[in-house]
Amino acid sequence: MALQRLGWSVKIFERRSDWEGAADRAAWSVTLTQRAFDTLEELGVDCSALEGVPLQGRVILGAAPGGKPISSPMAFRNINLSTRRIAKLCVRAARERGIECAFDHECLGVDQHGETSRVRFLRADGSLVEAEAELVVGADGANSAVRGSLQRSAFGFEVAQDFEGSPQFRIATLPVDDDAKLLPSRKPAVEGVTSGELRAVGDALYTSFAAGAGVILSPNVDRSVSIVATEEIFADVPSGDNGTAVRTALEAKAPNVAAYVGDVPGACAALAAARPLAGKTVKVSRFADGNVVLVGDAAHCMLNNLGQGANCALEDVQLLSAALAPVDASAAVAPALQRFSERRKRDADAAAELSKRAFTISPLLPRAANLIVYLLSYRAFQKLYALTRLAWLMPWQTAVNVDVKRSYGAISRAKAAQDAAGLAAFGVAFVALLIGAIKAIVGAVGLVRAFG
């Protein structure tokens, strides 16, 4: 749609079946922040169809069963929903503007020929289709066929992929038909958290870490809930489990959320049957080659720890559109794409790196200490910012969601500074406690000698 507004004749090829008739639940859930809505609104997309109850993040650190967990609210508010729901809205808007959308076309690769490229597709019926274009935009995901073609054919085009910072996890998205499991919007989103046993969820993303395992509950605006559980939970779950062993494992390893997950019909069975996944980051040496350009996960796949994958992808649209706005001839396409690549790559790489260490204060600290220092430093900067309103004191987690004018690179620098401050405070507190313990031991020894 952005290209059409610039005067391009556009055709979309998609490997899945037509999204217009697809179920909302059969897709990954993502978080949309202001970065995404700015792009959609600039394109004239009616975002009212995406309206729902905004979600407020909440981090829960594990406690012993029956104990009160440490938790913290996040100050920013987002919308969590299915990627398919976003796609359906955009496809409908594109068709209304006369853009042709060809579904069931799997991209096999791109052949570049001067100022044009030929793209090959495999149709659902097994036949092959070729399309020629002056501009090819590869938005085909983390395992991009367009990127693969550039990697094979273009000298100097390099791709690096890694799974650093991503544990294996399983995901299940289920409808919640029981009103008791979803709190009305007028009810506090934190209900059930402070008691140590979550039995209903409200307008929040619940991130729980307990006993070396993690569970994230993401209520969606379509009355479904996405449940993400790290693979440590399933270590003792036998294959073919009907969900009984999963529930037992959750009660042992993630007691804060076990009651809720166990009571959502089909949740434990769905998690037992789910295939283990691992997120990955992808970096390429450049986002463009000739008249071919990569955007979204094809260019800069990141871990979902940051909640910025979809937002970063939609932000690409604004920048690519700005780079192509002055183009008036085929020969000007490649230089414009190169300018986009040079401008965007550094910031997108910063976002990918940030996603790998979002919950890590220092690699030298054990996981439990990292989580505690992370939580306490977030709360400290949250209080400082509330008192001073100084932008550089805004917690970086809040800034990445609400301050859309601040680049990912600037957010990364803010995180480094805030982490250093948190780590320093932790070090001072640790030394103070150590000195106090030594004094207490010395005093106790003195008493023993005095009465000896």
Q: Could you read off the pLDDT of 231-283 as tens digits, one per residue?
A: 989 988 998 899 999 999 998 888 878 888 988 989 999 999 999 888 889 99
More confident call, 28 vs 359: 359
Query: What does pTM read for this prediction?
Result: 0.83
pLDDT (tens digit per residue) in 168-227:
899 998 888 777 787 776 676 666 666 667 888 877 778 777 656 788 888 877 778 889
Q: How many Å apart are CA 230 and CA 260, to the nearest integer?
A: 17
pLDDT (tens digit per residue) in 95-135:
999 999 999 999 999 998 888 999 999 999 999 999 999 99
Tell me phi and psi for residue 174, to 5 degrees.
-130, 145
Mean per-residue pLDDT, 389-395: 90
Q: How many Å apart are CA 284 and CA 87, to the nearest integer?
A: 25
Other CB atoms within 10 Å distance of the CB of residue 369: 15
pLDDT (tens digit per residue) in 27-79:
577 888 888 888 888 888 887 767 655 666 666 655 544 555 566 666 666 77
Tell me phi and psi for residue 111, to 5 degrees.
-110, 125
Question: Using 50, 70 and 90 to split pLDDT, how confident is the model at 25?
Answer: very low
pLDDT in the model for residue 66: 52
End-to-end CA distance of the chain: 87
What domains are there in the chain, each with its CATH number? 2-17+103-135+145-154+306-356 (no CATH), 55-79+164-278 (3.30.9), 367-451 (no CATH)
**What is the residue-averaged pLDDT of the chain?**
85
Q: How many Å apart are CA 121 and CA 110, to the nearest integer?
A: 9
Handedness of CA 81, 403, 360, 370 (dihedral sign): negative
Q: Please give the radius of gyration of the chain, using alpha carbons only, rounded to the nearest integer.
A: 25
